[in-house]
Chains A and B, each alone.
Chain A
Amino acid sequence: MDCERALEILTSIKKRNDIPCSSDEISDLLKFSFISEYGKESADLPTESEINTLKMNYDRLNSEIHGLNKELLSIEREYEHASLGSKLASYLQIGKGKKLKSQISKSKNEIKKMDTQVSIIKDQILRLNDQKQSINQAVRVNGKNVVLTPIGDNMIDEIEARERFLSRDLNVLINLIDQLDEEFSSLINKVGDIMKTGVFSPIWAVYLLNTNLGGLEKAFNSISKREYTYQQAEKRMMTLSINFMRNPQLSIPDSNRDILKIEKNMQYKYRKDNPAHDIKEFLHAYPHYQRIKKATSMIGRLFSNWSLHHGSEALGDEYLKNLKKIFKDQPIGSLSNKEVVYASFVIPFIGDLSKLTFFKDLLRDIPEGSKFFASLSALFPWDVKETWMILLRAEMNILRAQSAKFVPELIEYALLLAMNPEIIKVENSFSQSQYDEWTQLIIPIVHLLAYTFLEKDLEKYVRKRPLAYIISPRYYHHSSLHYHVIG
């Protein structure tokens, strides 16, 4: 069955319209748990009064247990206050003590029995409620009563968002979604593994994975521990990664001395085809120039790398041309807003600017970083609706792993994970040059902007609004003072 047909059947069931279809189609949808079959006829539908009677029994039994427990407590108290003689006599099976002990044991048994009964009734109520709900929603498909499951409901959205899959087999799409889940979950685990020993912010773990520079984590740790300010450590970590992109043959440094040696050897390698000077010159007249200056040097080095590896500086020239145009047209707002300024460094990579408008509207309610996030979302090589489904899938996996902390951060993490080349490969096959551009320019520039600007803003944001927490405060688990800081 192709995706278009699956969509037609699932949508009919959702709208509760009967639809003729083949047994194979029904079997397929049942196999994937998109629908479930209901054999019962409406005559067997549990009545409201049946459920109500059970509920009344449930109330009654709970209240009887409550009463019995009170009696038990009072007998226990009486026994506790009984004379020592009476207590000793109870062991000889005589006297008041014996009577109280036997009452205690009888009440306990009674409560235990009633407790079992009450659990059984609870399960009965829940089962009947489920049956009632399912039968009410069932649709007749090919002579069978079926009901749309939550997974089937999600599948409608997945197919609708991917027009390019409509004529393809449903299995292909299902496999793709499974692969995406596996990749996201594996990435989240890998980030967790890196952060077990990582003393840097988790955004760097995602960066290492996205740029396939996993071997540098020890070096990053060494830098983070050594530098007095984290800002300086971040600068050195970024420089080291760019050095490795330029020369992948470099030996992975074990010590700070080795790192310094690489820094020294590589510092003058970026003079050729480096557009940093031109970018700086052009930016000089704009606000927030000073903040961007340092990031600009790194961007220049990345383009110099590109030119070295691809024998052309055309991309750097084009980037600068586009950047000037973005600064002139200001498609996401005034440059007096610093977020607009740093988001503008991503926009030159977006081929279709209508995507930017779509995500700007979609993400505008995100309290912090919405324009930057919109720019990142528009970078992906898929249709906007498909991109959004993939980002939602990333978010779902993050939530499942309980690894996001704040509302704005959830989308940030989802976006960065979705940028991983493995995810891009699952959804779309990249040409080698697209792949190189994605890993050697887009990912590092996005990362550079995220840690230089966005992360700082997010930090301020959550400090002001403790309720921005969504789930796991793992971010702060190492700090006991945070509560007083932010709450």
Chain B
Amino acid sequence: MNTFERFLHESIDLQLYSVNAEISAINPQFKSYKKWITGYIGPATAELHDIKEPKLNAIKDENRNAIFPEFSVNLNDKTFFLAIKGCGAYEDMYEGKLLSPPRIRNACRDSTCLHLVDKLTTGTGFIMGESWMGESPYGCQGFINAFDELAFSKLAKLDSINGAHICPVIGVVQLPPEIEEMARKFFWFSTYKDHFYQEIRLMPSNIRLYFESSRLVANPSSFFSLFDLDTEKLIEKFEINFIKSGIALLSLFLRSAKKEGDNITGIIYQDVWLDKDCVVAPDGTIHFADLEGLIWKTVSQDKFAETQSKEWEKLAFEFLFALVKIDSYRHQLEGSKMSWNRQREELALLIQLAINQDSFVYSKNQNKDLLIVLEGTEVPLVEIPLLEMVN
């Protein structure tokens, strides 16, 4: 067990309960993990239904997800952990505090259930009928989101959509009817009308860029030791993978592009961001986790470059901000206090190195600028200046 796996084991802060749930769909690439595709509910939901076994150790992730550090799989030499999206909410939707039994009681709209609520010893991991932004039941997952995420995962080869890495969904289950029925009785304002689903997915880590994790890329000192990155060379390798995968995500539209007549269709990001919607693997590779915010967009060929550039710009700052943090921390470890000009120069060289084996992008020095050239099959070239006046 390496330091990061040990850390995950030590971070166990939750026990989830496995329940028999109907498998709604499965990602064919992960059929061999069918045994993992079942329902998992949080302690509060389990208490409400008097479910006591079987229990699994887990780590809370975001507000309604969890990672099981004791179940892992190796994909392309990288360890991925089993994870669940929609096992019940940890926080109160309106108070910004942990969800508590009294608040669950307040949300109960059926007085015949109050005797059950009064027995609750925790509010953690509660699934309820309240509609979360019209997309999902609070604490669980909605129909469209779940199946969209699965569709994007099926498109990927294991965890990669032509080099852009994701946390793949391996299956979708529908919450057992009795649990769904009971959950519908709990809401503050209005309810989610469709059936309740859960996604079973694979995640390489729980380290996010800026939000929603106790360890963040924006704070390199908090996780570098976890990944055993203690020398300058190891951090450089991590940084190169970070750049490579970051640029791959910024060029997702091109990587997923399909030409249909005069139109081109590709994946764009809609209200999802690198800061909180992706995790970073111990080798530095960024994996997009919240696939529900990806959508297909069709544009005419002459709008292709403009659309890809906009997609790039949308997320570039978040990527570059974290990159500068990692790079600066590497120099701090080296004990060098370098000028920003020198740092830019080195970053330019690293970027060139990082993408030299990417078949969708290459770098080009033009005048004094470092350009990233995006090239796909049958789609126009897109040139994006990444570091101007650097040479």
Contacts and interface: CB of A to CB of B under 8 A. Distances in A.
Contact of A402 (B219, B356, B359): B219
Nearest to B341: A133
Interface in B342-391: 342, 345-346, 349-350, 352-353, 355-359, 362-363, 365, 391
Contact of A62 (B213, B337, B353): B353
Contact of B93 (A111, A476, A481): A481
A66 B357 contact: yes
Contacts of A481: 63, 91, 93, 96
Given A62-B362, A62-B363, A401-B221, 20 more contacts: A55-B391, A62-B352, A62-B356, A63-B356, A69-B358, A122-B350, A129-B345, A130-B342, A149-B337, A150-B337, A402-B218, A469-B210, A471-B219, A472-B219, A473-B216, A473-B218, A477-B212, A480-B90, A481-B63, A481-B93
The 7 closest A-B pairs by CB, nearest first: A480-B63, A150-B337, A65-B356, A402-B219, A62-B356, A69-B357, A472-B219
Given A122-B349, A126-B346, A402-B219, A69 B359 contact: yes
Interface of B: 62-63, 90-91, 93, 96, 210-214, 216, 218-219, 221-222, 276, 337, 342, 345-346, 349-350, 352-353, 355-359, 362-363, 365, 391
Contacts of A320: none
A295 interface: no
B352 A479 contact: no
Contacts of B221: 401-402
B16 to A, nearest CB: 17
A73 B359 contact: yes
Interface string A371-398: 0000000000000000000000000000
A65 B244 CA distance: 15
A364 to B, nearest CB: 27
Main secondary structure of the interface of A (DSSP, over half): helix
B216 A472 contact: yes
B251 to A, nearest CB: 15
Interface in A234-274: none
Contact of A471 (B96, B218, B365): B218
A482 interface: yes
Interface in A100-137: 111, 115, 118-119, 122, 125-126, 129-130, 133
Given A66-B362, A402-B222, A118 B353 contact: yes
A472 B216 CA distance: 8
Nearest to A153: B337
B391 A474 contact: no
B85 to A, nearest CB: 13
Nearest to B233: A119
Given A69-B359, A150-B337, A481-B93, A58 B352 contact: yes
Among the interface residues A115, A402, A469, which one has the most CB atoms of the partner chain B within 10 A?
Answer: A402
Nearest to A130: B342
Contacts of A63: 356, 362
B256 to A, nearest CB: 17
A29 B356 CA distance: 44
A402 B222 CA distance: 9
A73 B346 CA distance: 29
A59 interface: yes
Given A66-B362, A150-B337, A473-B216, A480 B349 contact: no
A410 B81 CA distance: 37
Given A402-B221, A474-B219, A483-B212, A133 B342 contact: yes
B345 A126 contact: yes
A485 B92 CA distance: 13
B96 A479 contact: yes
A362 interface: no
A40 interface: no
A151 interface: yes
Interface string A287-311: 0000000000000000000000000
A122 B353 contact: yes
A70 interface: yes
Contacts of B211: 473, 476-477, 482-483
A66 B353 CA distance: 10
Contacts of B352: 58-59, 62
A65 B276 CA distance: 34
Interface string A456-487: 00000000000001011110110111110100
A479 B90 CA distance: 9
Contacts of B210: 469, 473
Given A129-B342, A151-B337, A472-B219, A483 B356 contact: no
Contact of B356 (A69, A471, A482): A69
A126 B210 CA distance: 30
A73 B358 CA distance: 10
Interface string A40-58: 0000000000000001001
